[in-house]
Amino acid sequence: MQEDSGLSRIQPAAELVRLRLDVAYDGTDFAGWAAQRGQRTVQGELERALATVLRLAEPAPTTCAGRTDAGVHARGQVCHVDVPRPAYSAVPGRDSTHPPAVSLLRRLAGALPADVRVRGVREAPAGFDARFSAVWRRYAYRVCDDLAAADPLRRREVLLHARPLDVAAMNAASHRLLGEHDFAAFCRRREGATTVRRLLDLSWERDASGLAIARVVADAFCHSMVRALVGALLAVGVGQRPVEWPAAVLAGRLRDSAVNVVPPRGLTLEEVGYPPDDELAARAHAARRRRTVEAGDGDSAGAAGS
C-alpha cells in the first residue's frame, strides 16, 4: 500500500485501464444486479471484491449490459470497470509470467462469494462500453412441466409448472411477436422512456432432459419484458388462450393485467452480443444519442433487467 501512496503523490491522476469482465451468478440470494444500500446485490459484491483485490481506496463503479432483477441469474453478463493501471499491473500472480488479467481472474475467484463467478477478465478494446456498445442480449427461460423430468439440482434456475405445455403452440404464438414493435403491453412503463424494441428471436424447444426452454434475443429489453412475454406464452401453452392472443395484447400497446409476469427463478441472461472492435465506439455513440433524444433513463440501451 505504501508504494501506491507514493505513486499517487507523484502521479495524482493515474492512467485508467478499462477492463471487460464476464460474470455469472446464481441470482437466488441477490436483490438483483444494481447496488442498493442495505441489500445484497451482484454489483455490490463485485465492486467490493475488485476493491479488495486491486487495493483501491474506494470501489470503482461497474457498468453492466443487463441490469437483472432480483432472483434473475446470469451466465453471460458483461460489465466494464475503469481502474488505475498501476493497481491493475500490481495484482500479484502465481509467478512473474502471469499477465495481470490472469492474476486478477484468480484473485477474484477467492474474493467473491460462491454464487458469483468472474469467468473472464481482459483489457477492453478502444471504445468499448458494456452497456452502450451491446447490440443484443440473449436470455433463456426454463420451465419443467413434467414431474418425471424434475431435477432438484436445477431447481434454482427452472420454473416448475403443474400443467403440460404445448411447445408447438407457444412457438406459433412467439413467431407473431418478432420484429420491431412497441412492447408497452409487456413492460412496466417509465415516464419518457421508449418501449420500442426489436425482438430478434423468441422460440421454444425441449432439451434432452425434457425442459421447455425459451430463447429470447432482442436489441434491448424493457423492465420485466421477458417475464411478461413468457407469461403470455404459457397461457397459450396450456390452452387457456389462443395462439393469436399474445400478438393481440402486443397490438393493444397497453399494459394488460391479463398477462401474468412469471417468477424470476426461470430466467437467465445467457449472452450479450457486441459488434466488431472497430464499430464499438460508433455503436456506443449511437445508443447514447438515442437515450438523449428520448430524455429517458437509458432503457433504450437495454440495461434494464428483464
Question: Site for its own copies (CB under 8 A): how many residues?
Answer: 28
Q: Is 208 in the site for its own copies (CB under 8 A)?
A: no
Q: Is 31 in the site for its own copies (CB under 8 A)?
A: no
Q: Is 26 in the site for its own copies (CB under 8 A)?
A: yes
- Segment 36 to 75, residues that bind its own copies, using CB under 8 A: 73, 75
Q: Is 293 in the site for its own copies (CB under 8 A)?
A: no
* Least spacing, CB of residue 117 vs its own copies, in Å: 4
Q: Which stretch binds its own copies (CB under 8 A): 79-87, 142-150, 177-185, 211-219?
A: 142-150
- Segment 6 to 25, residues that bind its own copies, using CB under 8 A: 22, 24-25
**Is 251 buried (19+), middle (13-18) or exposed (0-12) by CB count in 10 A?**
exposed
Could you report how far apart the first and last alpha carbons of the chain are, in Å? 41
Task: Decide if 146 is catalytic.
Answer: no
Taking the least distance from each CB to its own copies, the nearer of 25 and 186 is 25
Taking the least distance from each CB to its own copies, the nearer of 156 and 190 is 156
Q: Is 101 in the site for its own copies (CB under 8 A)?
A: no
Catalytic residue among 4, 26, 29, 69: 69
Q: Write the single-letter amino acid at 133.
A: S
Q: Is 205 in the site for its own copies (CB under 8 A)?
A: no
Q: Is 152 in the site for its own copies (CB under 8 A)?
A: yes
Q: Which residues contact 124 (CB under 8 A, 6 or more apart)?
A: 18, 19, 20, 80
Q: Which stretch binds its own copies (CB under 8 A): 52-60, 145-153, 196-204, 288-296?
A: 145-153
- Residues assigned a catalytic role: 69
Contacting positions for its own copies (CB under 8 A): 22, 24-26, 73, 75, 105-106, 109, 114-120, 147-157, 268
